[in-house]
Chain A
Amino acid sequence: MPRPGFVLEVDRATPPTLFWHGESFRLERLPRGSRILYPPEPLNPINDVRAAIEKALDNPVGDAQPLSSLLNANMKLTIAFDDVSLPLPQMASPDIRSLVIEAVLERAAEAGVTDVALIAALALHRRMTEGELRHALGNRVYNALAPRGQLTQHDAEDKPNMTVVGETDRGELVELNRRAVESDLLVYVNINLVSMDGGHKSVATGLASYDSIKFHHNVDTMVHSRSFMDRHNSELHSSNWRMGHVIKEAGVKIFQIETTLNTATFPENFRFLAKREWEWNLRDRGSFIASSEALKRTPPHLARQIFQSVRSPYGVTGITAGEVEAVHEITLERVYQQQLVRVDGQSDILTLGLPFIGPYNVNSIMNPILVYCLGLGYFFNMYRNKPLVRKGGVLIMSHPNRPEFDPAFHPSYVDFFDQVLSETTDPLVIESKYEESFARDPWYIHLYRTGNAYHGVHPFYMWYWGAHALDHLGGVIILGGDPKTTRRLGFQSASTMADALEMARTIVGSDPSIMHLHSPPLVMADVY
């Protein structure tokens, strides 16, 4: 029976706490009385995943029929799937998407469906490489469909192949991939790593155009998503749900398949990462010392490649298929069961260790804008009810925050950092003054469509992602961050935890309460 998560109060006997620090680690001793939020242990996975997939396809939930009864030889079938941004790190082979898609294609082959299209639901993300597609889909799926042009990646800028489905009652445009909309059945295969994923967001965002996505990816929506990990209190999700209803009313038939994973994030040689520090045995201490000392002596680009090659031994905890909303409610319960921990009361200071990977730097560099987004966007929002830190509190996050960018994957980020952040860090000003020019820039659009670049507007969305945290916090300190780069983001840098806490005291007062969100693995706080 896996142990639940809990909040530990630091006392004299508490060993130093492990912090992620990009591609390395830090051990920090937190002041007595600080609280540490420890994640629950990974839930027991399903033993026979293939059988569970078959069962889910045959017994859909909500107002849906079994998949086999929806398939016939003359139909147009489209299968869309989550892109490389999930899960993190990439899953050890076989990826759950490949198992689900194989089961769907097996049934489609039995029914003699020849008109099948597989679409990577990229939204405005970068196109996946062949290796990434093969990993996510498996060779059998790739070899059967890719050489025939039946495996494509969603192109939000391909206007002739987009179609307007309608508008919500609030005037939000719903413009989606034409093939998906015009299919007799759209099967969506998702991985719900965190509670933000899935539901109507899968299709309404994953297969949409910029003109449609901008209605919910904006500062106003993000500031009113409290948090965007809590679907019932997230304006981001409310907008997607309104769009989902428009899609349903337009007659687009969606068969949603959602999967959940446990938090078995790292392989055996990084076992110490998943254990609580006082439970480290001699081997764990040895591995920690060996890996952290080796990483200190490794050039950053090599350390990055070593970490990016990690394949996570995730276990599948659930597969649900059927009608979108009914499926998603079950999925959310499973995610919460794995990640949610009750916390009593907010703190003045929240500390975080930021890892080497986020959704947007798979096989790439975590640039400063992604550091900002991972800390203030993702980790800050891992809450339900109230943020872990009080209004006006301070966030201390640990990361080297080097001024490094991947010019192939993140070309517009370079210009965003140089041209936009040097002028202002105010999300509202950035949105009104600069977004349009980056979003419509023909060169960024060309790189997005033909290379492996994120869309020109993507760094803006990263900045908006942290807008709620910026609005809420009194200050942000990056522990161990490159000072010049950190200043460009509008934050302060500190070289030691003691310095960071001293700087934070000038904002929150002399005797602050401190909360540390322990990661890995992922944890979500239910704050009362």
Chain B
Amino acid sequence: MIPPRTHATGTNYDTTFSRKEVVRRVRGFLLDTSIAPLTRSIAKPTIINASALETLERPIIFVANHQSHLDTPLILTVLPPKLRHHTVVGAGADFFFDRRTKGFFSSTLLGAIPIDRVRPSRASAELATQLLEEGWNLVLFPEGGRTPDGLTQELKSGAAQIAIKVGRPVVPIFIDGTYEIFGKTADRIHPGSTTVIIGEPLYARDQERVADFNGRITHALGILGREAATDFYTARKPNEALPFPAPSRSWVEEWRTNAHRHNHRDSRKWPKLFGSRG
């Protein structure tokens, strides 16, 4: 019997095909030969503590701050091939899977799986858990979306919850510099350099509550963020302000930080005939 054709999008989009062996191998080939070199040429990453990745055993949950669409290819680029080829990435179902073509390319090229970032979703959590249990690494951006202004945002607890459920380690990764290259408000890519700092794996303690584990992940990412701005030792001094959650700055500091940026978009060369208005 022929199964009925479905046109599901969003969290209902079925990404099973993208994890079939042949698709996985094609993706691995494309990542190694095109996506990773291209990302390296645009973002010129400096990787700190890369050796931590060498000793990791699948499956791992990678959590990172989110500054740009470049973050996903950048993380896949810095992962060693043995991890990279078995990694799926949690992507906003409302953005990457709102149309079937977008969903197809996101899942084929990057191994994206749909995550509901608007509300806690059982379907998203179950899919992530199942894939970890099958041995896939999972990349998550627990801030729930790209930063609108370059500052870090509060972490949602989904990653901690999944890690406790499957009993696998969380590796925090701090990315610095992709906002300047292609931040949320940028109209084009401005190639530049980035720093990617790999943290030590964190394991949930026995009977640890989700909020507590999420707090530890937040703290670890905070230290890495501090390290990106200073150095290893300064970042670990007690009482240093951490960028998670971002310290509240007044608009004046933001105003001065952005003084050099290109602020006026050019008028569109072509009418916007598709997509939402405004």
Chain B residues within 8 Å of A98, by CB: 263-264
Number of interface residues of A (CB under 8 A): 39
Q: Which parts of B111-137 form the interface with A (CB within 8 Å)?
A: none
Select one of B255, B265, B266, B278 contacting A105, CB under 8 A: B255
Chain B residues within 8 Å of A160, by CB: none
Q: Return the chain B residue nearest A132 by Cβ.
A: B278
Chain B residues within 8 Å of A145, by CB: 251
Select one of B265, B270, B278 contacting A139, CB under 8 A: B265
Are A129's CB and B264's CB within 8 A? no
Chain B residues within 8 Å of A132, by CB: 278
A363 and B278 in contact, given A114-B251, A139-B264, A147-B148 (Cβ under 8 angstroms):
yes
Q: Which of A129, A130, A143 has the most chain B CB atoms inside 10 A of its CB?
A: A143
Chain A 125-150, CB-CB to B under 8 Å as 1, else 0, gives 00011111011001111111111101
* Interface residue? B185 (CB, 8 A): yes
Are A143's CB and B272's CB within 8 A? no
Chain A residues within 8 Å of B254, by CB: 143-144, 148
* Interface residue? A306 (CB, 8 A): yes
* Interface residue? A302 (CB, 8 A): yes
Cα–Cα distance between A66 and B250 once the two chains are bound (Å)? 25
* Interface residue? B273 (CB, 8 A): yes
Are B271's CB and A93's CB within 8 A? no
A359: min CB distance to chain B, Å: 17
* Interface residue? A488 (CB, 8 A): no
Q: Which parts of A79-119 form the interface with B (CB within 8 Å)?
A: 92-94, 98, 102, 105-106, 108-109, 112-114, 116
Cα–Cα distance between A134 and B277 once the two chains are bound (Å)? 13
Are B256's CB and A109's CB within 8 A? yes
Chain B residues within 8 Å of A128, by CB: 278
A363 and B271 in contact, given A109-B256, A144-B251, A144-B258 (Cβ under 8 angstroms):
no
Cα–Cα distance between A505 and B87 once the two chains are bound (Å)? 79
Q: Return the chain B residue nearest A141 by Cβ.
A: B263
Chain B residues within 8 Å of A105, by CB: 255
B67: min CB distance to chain A, Å: 14
Q: Return the chain A residue nearest B249 by Cβ.
A: A148
Cα–Cα distance between A142 and B261 once the two chains are bound (Å)? 13
Are A305's CB and B256's CB within 8 A? no
Cα–Cα distance between A21 and B39 once the two chains are bound (Å)? 50
Are A139's CB and B261's CB within 8 A? yes
B161: min CB distance to chain A, Å: 27
Are B267's CB and A143's CB within 8 A? no
* Interface residue? B149 (CB, 8 A): yes
Q: Return the chain A residue nearest B263 by Cβ.
A: A140
Chain B residues within 8 Å of A150, by CB: 251
Select one of B151, B251, B258 contacting A116, CB under 8 A: B251
Cα–Cα distance between A143 and B250 once the two chains are bound (Å)? 12
* Interface residue? A495 (CB, 8 A): no
* Interface residue? B268 (CB, 8 A): yes
Q: Return the chain A residue nearest B257 by Cβ.
A: A144
B170: min CB distance to chain A, Å: 27
Chain B 238-267, CB-CB to A under 8 Å as 1, else 0, gives 000000000000111011101101011111
Q: Return the chain A residue nearest B272 by Cβ.
A: A309
* Interface residue? A311 (CB, 8 A): yes
A23: min CB distance to chain B, Å: 12
Q: Return the chain A residue nearest B261 by Cβ.
A: A140
Select one of B251, B256, B267 contacting A93, CB under 8 A: B267
Number of interface residues of B (CB under 8 A): 25
A305 and B265 in contact, given A131-B278, A140-B258, A144-B255 (Cβ under 8 angstroms):
no
Are A109's CB and B255's CB within 8 A? yes
Main secondary structure on chain B at its contact with chain A?
loop
Chain A 404-432, CB-CB to B under 8 Å as 1, else 0, gives 00000000000000000000000000000
Are A305's CB and B251's CB within 8 A? no
Select one of B252, B263, B264, B273 contacting A109, CB under 8 A: B252
Select one of B258, B271, B278 contacting A305, CB under 8 A: B271
A304: min CB distance to chain B, Å: 10
B189: min CB distance to chain A, Å: 16
Select one of B148, B252, B263 contacting A138, CB under 8 A: B263
A94 and B185 in contact, given A114-B250, A131-B278, A145-B251 (Cβ under 8 angstroms):
no
Cα–Cα distance between A522 and B64 once the two chains are bound (Å)? 54
Chain A 491-520, CB-CB to B under 8 Å as 1, else 0, gives 000000000000000000000000000000
Cα–Cα distance between A329 and B165 once the two chains are bound (Å)? 71
Cα–Cα distance between A140 and B258 once the two chains are bound (Å)? 7
Chain B residues within 8 Å of A94, by CB: 264
Chain A residues within 8 Å of B151, by CB: 147
Select one of A93, A134, A148, A305 contacting B266, CB under 8 A: A93
Chain A residues within 8 Å of B267, by CB: 92-93, 311
Are A143's CB and B268's CB within 8 A? no
Q: Return the chain A residue nearest B259 by Cβ.
A: A140
Are B263's CB and A311's CB within 8 A? no
Q: Return the chain A residue nearest B186 by Cβ.
A: A139
Chain B residues within 8 Å of A135, by CB: 265
A148 and B278 in contact, given A98-B264, A139-B263 (Cβ under 8 angstroms):
no
Q: Return the chain B residue nearest A143 by Cβ.
A: B149
Q: Return the chain A residue nearest B258 by Cβ.
A: A140
A412: min CB distance to chain B, Å: 20
Cα–Cα distance between A112 and B253 once the two chains are bound (Å)? 10
Chain A residues within 8 Å of B273, by CB: 302, 305-306
Q: Which of B148, B250, B266 has the most chain A CB atoms inside 10 A of its CB?
A: B250
Cα–Cα distance between A311 and B259 once the two chains are bound (Å)? 25
Chain A residues within 8 Å of B252, by CB: 108-109, 112-114
Q: Return the chain B residue nearest A308 by Cβ.
A: B271
Are A93's CB and B265's CB within 8 A? yes
Chain B residues within 8 Å of A141, by CB: 263
Chain B residues within 8 Å of A129, by CB: 277-278
A309 and B256 in contact, given A144-B251, A363-B277 (Cβ under 8 angstroms):
no
Give me 9 other A-B pairs in contact (C-beta within 8 A), A134-B265, A138-B264 excluded: A93-B267, A129-B277, A129-B278, A142-B185, A143-B254, A147-B151, A308-B271, A311-B267, A311-B268
Binding site for A on B (CB under 8 A): 148-149, 151, 185, 250-252, 254-256, 258-259, 261, 263-268, 270-273, 277-278
Closest 3 pairs between A and B when the two form their complex, measured CB to CB: A129-B278, A309-B271, A131-B278
Ordered by A's residue number, 16 sampled pairs between the chains whose C-beta atoms are within 8 Å are: A93-B266, A106-B255, A109-B255, A113-B252, A114-B250, A114-B251, A129-B277, A138-B263, A139-B263, A140-B258, A144-B255, A305-B272, A309-B268, A309-B270, A363-B277, A363-B278
